Amino acid sequence: MAIVPKSNDVMTETQPLNIAAIAKDVLFTAILAFLILGPILGLKTFAITGSLALEQRWGMVSVFVAIVAGGRLAYHLLVWNKPQAKPARAISMPTLPVMSFGKYIIPVVLLVAIFLPFLPGVDRRIVDLAILILTYIMLGWGLNIVVGLAGLLDLGYVAFYAVGAYAYALLATIYLPAWFGDGIVPWAFFITLPIAGILAALWGVILGFPVLRLRGDYLAIVTLAFGEIVRVVLINWSDFTGGPAGIGGIPRPSFFGLPFTDGEGGFAAFFGLDFKPIHRIIFLYYVILVLALFTNFVTMRLRRLPVGRAWEALREDEIACRSLGINTTSTKLTAFAIGAMFAGFAGSFFATRQGFVSPESFVFLESFIILAIVVLGGLGSQIGVVIAAIVIIGSFEVFRELNFLKAVMPAGFDPVQYRMLAVGAALVLIMRWKPRGFVTRREPSVILKEKKAIPTDLVAEGHG
Amino acid sequence: MSAAGQDVLLRVEHLTMRFGGLTAIGDLSFTAARNDITAIIGPNGAGKTTVFNCLTGFYKPTEGSVILTHEDGKQFLLERMDDFRISQRARVARTFQNIRLFAGMTVLENLMVAQHNTLMRASGFTVTGIFNSPTYVRANREAVEFSEYWLEKAGLVDRADDPAGELPYGDQRRLEIARAMCTKPVLLCLDEPAAGLNPRESEDLNRLLLDIRKEQEIAILLIEHDMSVVMGISDHIVVLDYGVKISDGSPAEVRNDPAVIRAYLGVEDEEEAEAVVESAVAAAAKKPARTKVAAKKLPARKKGARK
Amino acid sequence: MEYFLQQLINGITLGSIYGLIAIGYTMVYGIIGMINFAHGDVFMVGGFVSLIAIVALGITGGSGFFPIILALVLVVFIAMIIASAYNWTVERVAYRPLRGSFRLAPLISAIGMSIVLQEFVRIAQDGRPKPLQPIVTGGYEIMSRAAAQGEFIVRLSNMQIFIIITTLILMAIFTAIITRTSLGRAQRSCEQDMKMASLLGIDINKTISITFIMGAALAAVAGLMFFLYYGVTDFYVGFLAGIKAFTAAVLGGIGSIPGAMIGGLIIGLIEVFWSAYFSIEYKDVAAFAMLAAVLIFLPQGILGKPEIEKV
Ligand SMILES: Nc1ncnc2c1ncn2[C@@H]1O[C@H](COP(=O)(O)OP(=O)(O)O)[C@@H](O)[C@H]1O
Ligand SMILES: [Mg+2]
């Protein structure tokens, strides 16, 4: 009933509501919703003694169809037929005030990041989550070089992450002890980290070379294929990679040679602290924080170097670049290589943190999540990546916290089951709302007199 | 100004470019002298842009050769070089008929990108540059100063920190030329720089071109439809029609060449056509500032050109 | 020889299925220039709906020949309608609002949609693979090798005949639609120049919607056949099949419907022969490597036109 006066309002102020058209549209929506939800949701197949049977759930279907149709009706009455639809649109598209507050936000965020493990109320779970988010921030920053700066669409980025992780896993468990004896193990992480980065960069060049000529969607799909090839090889080359089971028993990092163990010679004993497992977590946190900040620092510096400007120019117009004497081949390859290198670093960190790697961690979905972080943040924006990583990875975590829903929903309801569904749908909606991502300004890399941010509407999306 | 025996910078020999069945350029030969302005004119679709694309390596010619000789005697066979090497080594710069700026980068950044190779060397190919090596810092400062020099010439200093995509059309044209000049070329190829400009913008452009011509040691290849500009500024004109050279010589020679008149106006009465060209040129000559108002633009190809 | 012939038959069967999916990719790419990442999942939905309809109708291998054919025709229709509803909605929700915007946005949106479909099916139908007893059974022995040389019988199953014949019929119908009808003309004109087509009074939105519906209908048939052929389906089959079908579309020349079919056959044959003669584990690597090789060395495909970059 509440809707009726509202619709009367509308009628007096704008042209009369076309009831028949709305009814038709809502009916059509309902039918469509029924077609989509009916068979898959309404008839659940389950196995009984070698064949399949159906469980009918029409009640659920009718609830969802009613929700969809009701939503459509509400939209008709409240949004589309509202007087002055324009301002409503403007309100629904706020611009994030990142640039204007940027000056203060960045130092504050940095301070919080540096002292996070010691802030009151921060427990192991939060530090773990922070480590996860920082890993994705680092991956996002790495991919931002390739996609955001050079404009090369890479859907197989996770392959380099895998190269780094496996490089660390294999070197630390097999090769380093074999070559230099077991004494090397506590130092394995610090020795392997650069090697993993270099190996990943090498793979960046190897995979980058054949795809130099490709553009746009073709580049995306070939990089996707390369990512899958790497994964299939990891699964099937059992002698080397351990196959689907992966590699376990990977040494945990030490505090520059001091292991995080209880008793003599451990980190806690050396510094006269009580042994606590969280010491290692906190150490890992600082390792990834340093790695991520290093990634950011290098990227920011590269942007101000000719190679970084050439990347951005490449994204803007490849032909103009060539007419100015820029070797686009090597420019693209350096972008692939440096982006891959950071993924390699992140991969070794992942391996040492988990103590275990398997091909399952390097599926296409991971590449997509990293790309989504970059696009959602706003291509090329470093702070955008931070925001998007917190939003996306954070929202995954939120689903774990929704346990109260279990109480109100039918038995067997587990919110975690729905997180990918929700994230997929959220991405579709966010792209409609902000196709350019959260941060829609680009910072110039060099200034003559005054700094003016560039609206990203002008910035090209790259063609490669 | 120019004469046959003068120092030849660019020698195009038997250049042919086919796209499938279409012969965009057929057996074209001409030369361009050092420090001269050579205009390439011809109706739309005559193959002028294609000549530029062959010179700058964007198309590989089907046949023929393009030889560029530097003052120190070094020779470059442009048809065999990669496009970016032509700019890097042979020092040929160009602009595009449809402006190709880095729209999302600032005006200054556009000019800095043009100095990529110099800066790349100074930054030790990034290895030392990333540590802010003194060599790189100095080179970077010099590059900014050099950009500023060209910004002044192009009248764009005030807009240095604005995104190139936000500039008005005329400024974009001049920026593209300034950007090409930042590569320190010996040959500058301008593809219809005045197309679509209003009279004021046209004037600014002419000022920039005359300045370049006066102060820089550089040869220019110019594609232009505006006859007043062409006749007034160039030392040497090559006329193309359907990919074939129909005339080649000084402005005076070309102006009186019956073949040119036929191709341009498609009239049989050559005297009448000649009169049209004469009057256009005369009008242009009277106004040294060469404002567009006075310059009658010749029709690209008059409708119903009888063959 | 016998072994080779058998693989040839299997390859053509699989290739027909890939070809049908590929047509959906090729038509959509041709007209709006984007990869419909959710297409593989619409194919998966088609398979699932077929499965549900088969169980609901109670069809088993024991029913007679004509009842099975009739029932399968009914199943195909249901699957086509539902899959079309899916693809139509995907286009409306995820692609149309982003048409002509920043290029990466529709890509993210498309992959997001693909995740939504997979997850929806996984949650609604649980993640376990769904096996079904064979329905179309029997077949013919074409050739056999004596036991002395190692016994081997070349079989052409009724299922394979069903798949190949259905594919041929659908191909004929679709080619006729594209080349003969005004709808096909509208599609081809949108492919050439969308702005111009709209100026000439072609309803672009409708044309694009119909393109999505046609692609989905073919994918649904492919989904049914894929499911009947392998006897099992799950929520994830669309990903791999989709990539392979996209490879087929590119290989044949994007935008070309006969090209998609030829590409599908080639990909099917490569996959089957690779599995038969080299290693079954790396069959997907073969398909992916093929994709990379085609895009790198023959980006215009077999039946596509080469493009020279205009400067
Ligand atoms: N990349 C290409 N592919 C096919 N045809 C081309 C290409 N580039 C130019 N052409 C054709 O070559 C001819 C000459 O074009 P162009 O050089 O652009 O003429 P203009 O003298 O107007 O600059 C035209 O017929 C054009 O269509
Ligand atoms: Mg031209």
- The rounded Å distance from CA A311 to ligand 2 centre is 28
Find the angle CA(C241)-CA(C246)-CA(C247) to the nearest 5 degrees: 100
pLDDT of the residue at B266: 59
Find the angle CA(B178)-CA(B39)-CA(B207) to the nearest 5 degrees: 40
- Count CB neighbours of C171 within 10 A: 19
Q: What are chain C's partners, defined as 3 or more CB pairs within 8 angstroms?
A: A, B
Closest CA to C17 of C250, C225, C161: C225
Ordered by start, the domain boundaries in chain C are 2-127+141-297
Token output for C142: 């074409």
CA distance C157 to chain A (A): 22
pLDDT of the residue at C306: 63
Q: Decide if pLDDT at C59 tops 50.
A: yes
What sign results for the dihedral spanned by CA atoms A65, A71, A77, A81? negative
Return mean pLDDT, chain A.
Answer: 80
* Interface predicted TM-score of the whole assembly (ipTM), two decimals: 0.83
Q: Which residues from C are below 8 Å from B96, CB to CB?
A: 311
Most confident by average pLDDT, A324-338, A409-423, B237-251, C48-62: A324-338
Token output for B61: 């010619």
Selected residue with higher pLDDT from A181 and A39: A39
Cβ contact C106:C98 at 8 Å: yes
Q: Given pLDDT bands bounded at 50, 70 and 90, which one contains residue A86?
A: very low
Token output for B63: 């046949």
Return the ligand number nearest the Cα of B40: 1
Q: Decide if pLDDT at C84 tops 90.
A: yes
Q: What is the Cα gyration radius of chain A?
A: 26
pLDDT of the residue at A160: 93
Measured between alpha carbons, how far is residue A23 from residues A72, A73, C89 in Å?
Answer: 10, 8, 19
pTM listed for this prediction:
0.84
**DSSP character for A255?**
B
Selected residue with higher pLDDT from B147 and B126: B147
Length of chain C: 311
Rounded-to-integer distance, Cα A374 and Cα C269, Å: 38
C94: Cβ contacts below 8 Å, ≥ 6 apart: A428, A431, C38, C106, C109, C110, C112, C113
Q: What are chain A's partners, defined as 3 or more CB pairs within 8 angstroms?
A: B, C
Return the ligand number nearest the Cα of B300: 1
CA distance B291 to chain C (A): 30
The preferred substitution site among B15, B16, B28, B49 for testing ligand 1, maximizing ligand atoms within 8 Å of CB, is: B49
CATH level 3 topology of C2-127+141-297: ABC transporter involved in vitamin B12 uptake, BtuC (1.10.3470)
Q: C308 — contact with chain B (CB < 8 Å)?
A: yes
Q: Decide if pLDDT at B286 tops 80.
A: no
Q: If you average pLDDT over residues C223-230, what whole number do you get? A: 87
Strands B22-33 and B187-191: unpaired
Rounded-to-integer distance, Cα B31 and Cα B26, Å: 16
Q: Decide if pLDDT at A101 tops 60.
A: no
Q: Which residues surround ligand 2, an ion (CB under 5 A)?
A: B 49, 97
Q: Decide if pLDDT at B307 tops 70.
A: no
Selected residue with higher pLDDT from B266 and C79: C79
Return mean pLDDT, chain C.
Answer: 83
A91: Cβ contacts below 8 Å, ≥ 6 apart: none
Q: Which residues from C are below 8 Å from A43, CB to CB?
A: 52, 55-56
Backbone angles phi, psi at B29, to 5 degrees: -130, 135
What sign results for the dihedral spanned by CA atoms B210, B211, B215, B219? negative
Q: If you average pLDDT over residues B98-104, what whole number do you get? A: 89
Return the ligand number nearest the Cα of B238: 1
Single-letter code of the amino acid located at A453: A
Lowest mean pLDDT among A309-318, B164-173, B220-229, B283-292: B283-292
Q: Given pLDDT bands bounded at 50, 70 and 90, which one contains residue C305?
A: low
Per-residue model confidence as pLDDT tens digits over B55-86: 898 888 888 899 888 888 888 888 888 888 88
Q: Is B24 helix (H, G, I), strand (E, B) or coil?
A: strand
Using CB atoms, pick whichever of B58, B112, B136 lies closest to residue A446.
B112
Cβ contact A356:A247 at 8 Å: yes
Verify whether the Cβ–Cβ distance C311 to B19 is below 8 Å: no
Answer whether C308 contacts ligand 1 (Cβ < 6 A): yes
Verify whether the Cβ–Cβ distance B161 to A449 is below 8 Å: yes
**DSSP character for B106?**
B
- Count CB neighbours of A283 within 10 A: 18
Cβ contact B119:A306 at 8 Å: yes
Cβ contact C186:C197 at 8 Å: yes
Q: Which residues from B are below 8 Å from A310, CB to CB?
A: 113, 116
Q: Decide if pLDDT at A180 tops 90.
A: no
Per-residue model confidence as pLDDT tens digits over B188-224: 999 988 888 888 888 888 888 888 888 888 889 999 8
Selected residue with higher pLDDT from A40 and C300: A40
Cβ contact A143:A309 at 8 Å: no
pLDDT of the residue at C191: 77
Ordered by start, the domain boundaries in chain A are 10-45+54-80, 121-393
The helix (run of H) or strand (run of E) holding residue B244 is strand B244-249
Find the angle CA(A290)-CA(A296)-CA(A301) to the nearest 5 degrees: 125
Q: DSSP letters of C135-190?
A: SS--EEEEEEE-GGG--EEEEEEHHHHHHHHHHHHHHHHHHHHHHHSHHHHHHHHH
Give the up-direction half-sphere exposure of residue C105: CA atoms within 13 A in the CB hemisphere.
21
Cβ contact B256:B75 at 8 Å: no
Q: Given pLDDT bands bounded at 50, 70 and 90, which one contains residue A344?
A: very high
